[in-house]
């Protein structure tokens, strides 16, 4: 559904968003972001595997899924990539027995390891797995992301799911763009892997940052409505595309660079999704924020 709210012009957005991007204190927020987990690993192969696993589980607050993720990383040991490459269901599957996080159960992690093991055996790296399904390196990202997710969903998992049907929890790890959802977690994974600038680590060089789509969670959704990046009321793939298109008008080569700062502005409590006499005045986005402008309009009518 689309609302009747107005979109803010690129000319009005450019200065406040560029200022937010340049001046944001990224280091102060890294410990509260899911990216902290892959950043622990210096080896590219380990970082790639941990980034995908982290992104797949990154639903809910960081402090909640982070505790569950820590148990998994402890099982995987010093080199998660080596653990996955050598994974055997009969030998290693029971090691995840203590894992539980919302929709996910131990067998979902076992299936992840089997699918990732086979993808690495076939392609060498997850990047090469993604690129194998990227038929148009200059085109839309959705088809390639769909094929990447399918590589995990359609993997040979008979050892884990003898009846063939994947668990709800496992399917939840790999959403498909064709289903219409925002695919926030997989898009977040791609942001980490592709963008060349901090806080992202840009290990994947075969995909241009210009093709990335904005990872839209509840924080980015609310910030985007507040500053006129979208008129949509439902968090969908179309909303992610609309927000990305608006940001591409500001920086066509790197449209998702604003994601971290926008998300953490709201996570940190520096935006309450309403006008506030204490929180709003210091905010550099207030000049393009509908909450601030509505409040100013009401004040002038009095």
- 2 pLDDT band (50/70/90 cuts)? very low
**What's the rounded Cα separation, in Å, for the pair 259 and 188?**
9
Judge whether residue 196 has pLDDT over 90.
yes
4 pLDDT more than 50: no
Residue 52 · residue 130 · CB < 8 Å:
no
Higher pLDDT, 279 or 2: 279
Confidence check: pLDDT of 127 > 60? yes
3-state secondary structure the chain: CECCCCCCCHHHHHHHHHHHHHHCCHHHHHHHCHHHCHHHCCCHHHHHHHHHHHHHHCCCCHHHHHHHHHHHHHHHCCCHHHHHHCCCHHHHHHHHCCCCECCECHHHHHHHHHHHHHHHHHHCCHHHHHHHCCCCCCCCCHHHHHHHHHHHHCCCCCCCCCCCCCCHHHHHHCCCHHHCCCCHHHHHHHHHHHCCCCCCCCCCCCCCHHHCCCCCCHHHHHHHHHCCCCCECCCCHHHHHHHHHHHHCCCCCCHHHHHHHHHHHHHCCCCCCCCCCCCCCCCCCHHHCHHHHHHHHHHHHC
Residue range(s) in the chain whose domain bears CATH number 1.10.1670.10:
1-32+213-302
Structure tokens, 112: 């992840």
Mean pLDDT of the region 266-290: 94
Q: Are 247 and 229 in contact (CB under 8 A)?
A: yes
Choosing among 1.10.1670.10, 2.40.70.10, 1.10.287.3510, 1.25.50.10, the CATH entry for 1-32+213-302 is 1.10.1670.10
Identify whether 199 is preceded by a cis peptide bond (ω within 30 of 0).
yes
The pLDDT score that the predictor gives to residue 293 is 82
pLDDT single digits (tens) 26-52: 999 999 999 999 999 999 999 999 999
Angle at 254 between CA 253 and CA 259, to 5 degrees: 165
What pLDDT, in 10s, does the model give residues 233-252? 999 999 999 999 999 999 99
Mean pLDDT score across all residues of the chain: 94
Residues in CB range of 76: below 8 A, 6 or more apart:
83, 84
Per-residue pLDDT band at 300 (split at 50, 70, 90): low
Encode pLDDT of 214-237 as tens digits. 999 999 999 999 999 999 999 999
User: So what's the pLDDT on residue 6?
Assistant: 82
Say if CB 247 and CB 258 are below 8 A apart: yes
- pLDDT score recorded for residue 3: 45
Rounded Cα distance between 202 and 219, Å, is 24
Give the mean model confidence (pLDDT) for residues 78-107: 97
Residue 256 pLDDT:
98
């Amino acid at each position: 559904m689309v609302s009747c709210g107005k979109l803010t012009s690129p000319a009005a957005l450019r200065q406040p968003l560029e200022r937010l991007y340049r001046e944001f204190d990224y280091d102060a927020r890294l410990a509260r972001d899911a990216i902290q987990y892959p950043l622990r690993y210096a080896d590219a192969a380990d970082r790639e595997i941990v980034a995908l696993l982290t992104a797949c589980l990154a639903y809910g607050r960081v402090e909640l899924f982070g505790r569950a993720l820590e148990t998994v990383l402890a099982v995987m040991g010093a080199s998660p990539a080596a653990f996955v490459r050598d994974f055997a269901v009969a030998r290693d599957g029971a090691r995840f027995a203590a894992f539980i996080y919302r929709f996910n159960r131990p067998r979902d992690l076992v299936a992840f390891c089997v699918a990732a093991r086979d993808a690495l055996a076939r392609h060498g790296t997850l990047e090469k797995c993604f690129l194998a399904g990227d038929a148009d390196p200059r085109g839309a990202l959705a088809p390639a992301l769909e094929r990447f997710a399918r590589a995990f969903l359609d993997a040979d998992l008979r050892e884990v799911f003898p009846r063939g049907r994947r668990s709800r929890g496992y399917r939840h790890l790999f959403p498909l763009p064709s289903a219409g959802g925002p695919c926030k977690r997989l898009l977040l994974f791609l942001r980490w892997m592709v963008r060349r600038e901090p806080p992202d680590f840009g290990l994947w060089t075969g995909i241009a940052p210009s093709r990335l789509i904005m990872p839209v969670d509840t924080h980015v959704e609310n910030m985007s409505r507040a500053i006129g990046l979208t008129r949509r009321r439902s968090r969908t793939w179309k909303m992610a595309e609309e927000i990305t298109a608006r940001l591409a008008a500001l920086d066509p080569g790197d449209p998702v660079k604003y994601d971290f700062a926008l998300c953490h502005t709201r996570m940190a409590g520096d935006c309450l999704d309403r006008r506030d006499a204490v929180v709003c005045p210091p905010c550099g986005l207030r000049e393009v924020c509908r909450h601030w402008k509505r409040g100013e309009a009401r004040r002038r009518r009095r």
